[in-house]
Amino acid sequence: MMRPLARSIGARVIAVAMLATGLGACSPWASGDGVSVLAAWTGSERESFEKVLDAFREETGVSVDYQGSRAVNEVLLAQIRKGSPPDLAALWSPGDLAKYAKSGDLRPLGGVLGAARQRDYDRQWLMPQRVDGTEHVFAVPIKANLKSMIWFAPEQLSGPPPGTWNELVDRSRALARGGTAPWCMGMGDTSASGWPGTDWIEDILLYQAGRDIYDRWATGQLAWESKEVRRAWTTWGEITAGKDLVYGGSTAALLTDFQDAGRPMFDRPPGCAMEHQASFVVDGYRSAFQESTGRPLTLGTDIRFFPFPRFGPEGAPEGGAETGTGREPGREPGGEPEPSAAPVRLSADLLVMFRDRPETRRLIRFMASEKAQRIWPSLPGSSAYSLNRRVSPGSQGSGDTGREISAILTAPGTKCFDASDTFPAVMRNAFNRAILEYLNEPDRLSTLLEELDRIRSTIGAQEWAGPACGR
Amino acid sequence: MSAGMGTGGSTSAGADTVMGAGMGAGPGADLDARSALGAGPPVRTGRRRPTRRTLLRLRLVLLVTTVVTALASLSALQIVHIGIDGMGTMTTPAILEIAAAHKALAEADRAAIESFRSGGSRLTGFRPGEEYQNQIGIANQSLAQVAEDNAVGEAGSRTVQLVEGMLVVYTGLIGQADAQQRRDGAGLSVADLWYASGIMHGRPSGILAELDRLRTMHERALDRRLSSGWTHPLVISAAAVPVATLLTVLLIAQVFIRRRFRRHLAPPLLAATVLLASVSVAMVAVGHNSHSRLGESRAALRQAVAARQAEAQDASVRRRLVLVRLLSGTCGAAVDACGPTVERFGTASRGLVARAVRPAPVNEIIESRRVNDRMRAARIATPIPFLLAAAFLAVIAMIQWGFHPRIDEYRFQRR
């Protein structure tokens, strides 16, 4: 009889059906969470970072969910308060990093990275923090940005670039008399509006007063009302309050997003000639140039940079020691033999770990590897620069100018973090705000400095991050 | 070698259909059960003993198949129920709430900017005003609800947190604009207003843009469920295959009994077959009804969202026009003198005209009620699983009842 066979076939069919039902039951609830990463990169920077993540996804099969927001600080704070921080986050503020490390929210990375990977970086960039008596490292620098640089359109600024501040101011006034506003300026950036102005003050202070003064101020030991700091503000005022020196005036500077500020350089006729901005601004220049002229930007030809000018004798620091006060750039033609290059100011995107899981360890180890560090800078036209020693300037995808920037970042010599990045958040926010107020009404400077000092006095000594400048 | 009607022999190797095997049965053609399972070459045995054993086996097969079918059908029903439930209690409400939050925030921004333009003295500041406060309150409530109803996992909850974080920044800046104006009139307060409005309306990563993204995630999840969730072939076949198997085996059993005993088809088994067939038809009808109602609910949802979006869009246009006037006043001349960001904003706002008559405000209660009614109608009524279980129990009882007399007949033949 066939019934037993029927039964066996039937049994198999039923088994398959049950299995199918079971699978069907399971799939709606299957959730692979993967690793979550939070950072400030949006738009084209986001796309570039996703390429780095793609390399990781291909290599390991682990899924990564990236969330980007320019309000990353607030978002991170909200998530931490709710007890659900992201697995990894890229912080640009050493001050915030120090805070989270001390509060125990961050996981130390020494064991995760291993000694070999750590040796690929200057220890400064791994953000060593002293927690409970022991020093741990907490960060992997994803990319660095050079500050202390001034971009310009070569066709508007002929001749050798200004080497001193006074030369710079003179050239600016000359341009203004010729009918072009010399300076492009934009302060807007969601909740951090004003930070481009803080970059000005910091560069002026660093080059005018020297590295030691800068470092003391960055760690809250120097008053805002001190003569060095006050002088830095009034020096900036030569530009911002100068007649017709800023495109659209200071009101336009307030209302312009930092990403848009350089656009008028590529207008026909050009609206402004120079912009003081970090290396990452090139991404915006590329799209603005393309929109305005219809062809791609060539770095080095259509846009160039010169280093922040030094200050001449009248602006030089008092009692200069040899240890890096008001150094002159080594490139000055026909100058005296220089001991070493000027200190360089930079910012970095620091990847930190909030949740220690096998997948997050894999991702952060990957991000520290030479392979991963090479990806972003090697993208064509990239304005990302790696601090990994193994990633040579040669692998920068932006031509000679890019390689020049990369060389500056990795050359031996003093490197200083952007001071406001190292400030505790309350000081940084107040600094940003003071910039906006100063632009709006320069006569209020004394009141502003007083207020800044008042806030400084409310911050405990242990809340300041470590020194901003390396050895 | 296939078995034909009335022929005497059939081998297990040749029989590759269940029906074929059944048809090939005839007197003297019984095969040993073991050989049928492929344990050895086919062996012909007599007709004495196997019949009772065969009957018992057949009954066992039927009972087992019925139980398995019952479990499969009930599981499938449960899956469908959970799916619809999820759609009704999470995905659909989330979409409505997100659209509500979006609208409230667009209105809040418009209200803040309008009151800045119209009101404001040094003493009173520009007073973001009651409408602003109300709308922010509504938005916060909706966002809290969205956080609860979030149906897209961690990506969704992170987006809600992102939006909440940015909203804190936004309300802070509006407050600052207020304080600034009290202090020294316009100037920096316009900048604060401008920054705030940028956080709200910025693309691709402003607050409203993030809410749109979140809503799209939910809508995709909902559409995925509707098109391939419960009507997924896997789920349907999971339920249908056992039923088909059971029906088939029942039919085989009845044919066997008729041939073997030359009696009429056992009435209980016939009844069971009929019951099973009607249950299948009923299930299909229930499924069809659910599907249609879900479709209607989805259409109503689309309308509700579109209405809210239209209102938000209107608020956005009004806000743009006021902001352009405000900015021109601040920069002294035209909006072009305000730097490239404002210039681009001004260009994009050219030609926009606010509607003379604002669209009738969405009656949110009526809209959501309509969506929810359809969703409720789509649910599988509570009695249905019980009726289904009862039907299967009845089938089991009928199988027992149908076989019992036949098995009984053979009882005393065993030795």
Q: To the nearest whole angstrom, how far is the Cα of B132 from the nearest Cα of chain A?
A: 20
Note whether B12 contacts A5, CB cutoff 8 Å. yes
Q: For B411, what's the count of Cα atoms within 13 Å in the CB-facing half-sphere?
A: 7
Confidence (pLDDT) at A143: 92
A110-119 vs A358-368: helix axis angle to the nearest 10? 10
| Chain B hits for A18, Cβ within 8 Å | 68, 71-72, 238, 242
Long-range contact set of residues B145-151: C-beta below 8 Å, sequence gap at least 24: B145/B93, B145/B94, B145/B97, B146/B94, B146/B97, B146/B98, B146/B101, B146/B214, B149/B89, B149/B90, B149/B91, B149/B93, B149/B94, B149/B97, B150/B90, B150/B94, B151/B86, B151/B90, B151/B91, B151/B94, B151/B218, B151/B221
Give yes or no for A1 touching B (CB within 8 A). Answer: yes
Model confidence over B402-411: pLDDT tens digits? Answer: 888 777 776 7
pLDDT winner (highest mean) among A24-28, B161-165, B267-271: B161-165
What is the DSSP secondary structure assignment for residue B87, as one 8-state letter?
A: I
Residue in A closest to B233 by C-alpha: A24
- Of the pLDDT bands very low, low, confident and very high (cuts 50, 70, 90), residue B74 is confident
Model confidence over B141-162: pLDDT tens digits? Answer: 999 999 999 989 888 988 898 8
Note whether B191 contacts A255, CB cutoff 8 Å. yes
What three-state secondary structure class fits B73?
Answer: helix
Residue in A closest to B63 by C-alpha: A7
Note whether A191 contacts B237, CB cutoff 8 Å. no
Note whether A17 contacts B241, CB cutoff 8 Å. yes
Residues 230-289 of A with CB under 8 A from B: 247-248, 251-257, 260-261, 263-264, 271
What is the DSSP secondary structure assignment for residue B14, as one 8-state letter?
A: T
**Dihedral angle computed from the Cα positions of residues A385, A391, A395 and A401, in that order, rounded to the nearest 10 degrees:** 40
Kindly state the tokens that stand for A257. Answer: 């997003």
| Chain B hits for A263, Cβ within 8 Å | 340
Higher pLDDT, A422 or B186: A422
Q: To the nearest whole angstrom, how far is the Cα of B23 from the nearest Cα of chain A?
A: 9
| Chain B hits for A41, Cβ within 8 Å | none
Residue type, B35: S
What is the DSSP secondary structure assignment for residue B264, as one 8-state letter?
A: P
Residues 86-115 of A with CB under 8 A from B: 86
| Chain B hits for A251, Cβ within 8 Å | 187, 330-332, 338
Q: To the nearest whole angstrom, how far is the Cα of B359 from the nearest Cα of chain A?
A: 31
Residue in B closest to A9 by C-alpha: B18
Note whether B36 contacts A190, CB cutoff 8 Å. no
Confidence (pLDDT) at B262: 67
> Could you say which of A13, A78, A264 has the minimum Cβ distance to residue B165?
A78
Note whether A78 contacts B195, CB cutoff 8 Å. no
> Could you say which of B195, B241, B338 has the minimum Cβ distance to residue A190?
B195
Model confidence over B75-107: pLDDT tens digits? Answer: 888 888 888 888 888 999 999 999 999 999 999
> Could you say which of B61, B172, B204 has the minimum Cβ distance to residue A3?
B61
Give yes or no for A137 touching B (CB within 8 A). Answer: no
| Chain A hits for B159, Cβ within 8 Å | 67
In tens digits, chain A (471 residues) has pLDDT values of 445 555 555 556 555 555 555 554 443 333 346 899 999 998 888 999 999 999 999 999 999 999 988 778 888 988 898 898 999 999 988 988 999 998 999 999 999 999 999 999 988 899 998 888 899 999 999 999 999 999 999 988 888 999 999 999 999 999 999 999 999 999 998 878 999 999 999 999 999 999 999 999 999 999 999 999 999 999 999 999 988 999 999 999 999 999 999 999 999 889 999 999 999 899 889 989 999 899 999 998 999 999 999 997 654 443 333 333 333 444 444 333 333 467 899 999 999 999 999 999 999 999 999 999 999 999 888 889 999 988 888 778 788 899 999 989 888 888 999 999 999 989 999 999 999 999 999 999 999 999 999 999 999 988 898 889 986
Per-residue pLDDT, averaged over B167-181, amounts to: 90
> Could you say which of B61, B82, B188 has the minimum Cβ distance to residue A440?
B188
Note whether A75 contacts B10, CB cutoff 8 Å. no
Buried residues in A35-58 as b, exposed as e (16+ CB within 10 A): bbbbbbbbeebbebbeebbeebbe
Whether residue B87 contacts residue B222, with contact meaning beta carbons closer than 8 Å, is answered with yes
Mutate to test the interface with B, among A255, A266, A292, A432 (most CBs of B within 10 A): A255
Note whether B10 contacts A190, CB cutoff 8 Å. no
Kindly state the tokens that stand for B103. Answer: 């609208």
A227-240 vs A195-209: helix axis angle to the nearest 10? 120
Per-residue pLDDT at B297 exceeds 60: yes
Q: How far is CA B324 from CA B173, B218, B251, B321, B334, in A?
A: 19, 35, 79, 5, 9
Helices and strands in chain B, H and E counts: 13, 0
Confidence (pLDDT) at A233: 98
Which range (A32-36, B171-175, B276-280, B296-300) has the least confidence? A32-36
| Chain B hits for A28, Cβ within 8 Å | 79, 82-83, 86, 225, 229
Note whether A69 contacts B153, CB cutoff 8 Å. no
Residue in B closest to A259 by C-alpha: B341
What is the three-state SS of chain A? Answer: CCHHHHHHHHHHHHHHHHHHHHHHHHHHHCCCCCEEEEECCCHHHHHHHHHHHHHHHHHHCCCEEEEECCCHHHHHHHHHHCCCCCCEEEECCHHHHHHHHHCCCCCCCHHHHHHHHHHCCCHHHHCEEEECCEEEECCEEEEEEECCEEEECCCCCCCCCCCEHHHHHHHHHHHHHCCCEEECCCCECHHHCCHHHHHHHHHHHHHHHCHHHHHHHHCCCCCCCCHHHHHHHHHHHHHHCCCCCECCHHHHHHHCECCCCCHHHHCCCCCEEEEECCHHHHHHHHHHHHHHHCCCCCECCCEEEEECCECCHHHCCCCCCCCCCCCCCCCCCCCCCCCCCCCEEEEEEEEEECCCCHHHHHHHHHHHCHHHHHHHHHCCCCCCECCCCCCCHHHCCCHHHHHHHHHHHHCCCCEEECHHHHCCHHHHHHHHHHHHHHHHCHHHHHHHHHHHHHHHHCCCHHHCCCCCECC
> Could you say which of B29, B68, B164 has the minimum Cβ distance to residue A14?
B68
> Could you say which of A23, A70, A78 has the minimum Cβ distance to residue B205?
A70
pLDDT more than 70, % of chain B: 78
Whether residue A208 contacts residue A238, with contact meaning beta carbons closer than 8 Å, is answered with no
Buried residues in B390-400 as b, exposed as e (16+ CB within 10 A): ebbeebbebbe
Confidence (pLDDT) at B373: 87
Kindly state the tokens that stand for A223. Answer: 């008053």
> Could you say which of A10, A36, A254 has the minimum Cβ distance to residue B154?
A36
Mutate to test the interface with B, among A1, A16, A45 (most CBs of B within 10 A): A1
Q: To the nearest whole angstrom, how far is the Cα of A162 from the nearest Cα of chain B?
A: 26
Higher pLDDT, B318 or B128: B318
pTM for this entry:
0.78
Note whether B161 contacts A79, CB cutoff 8 Å. yes
Per-residue pLDDT at B40 exceeds 60: no
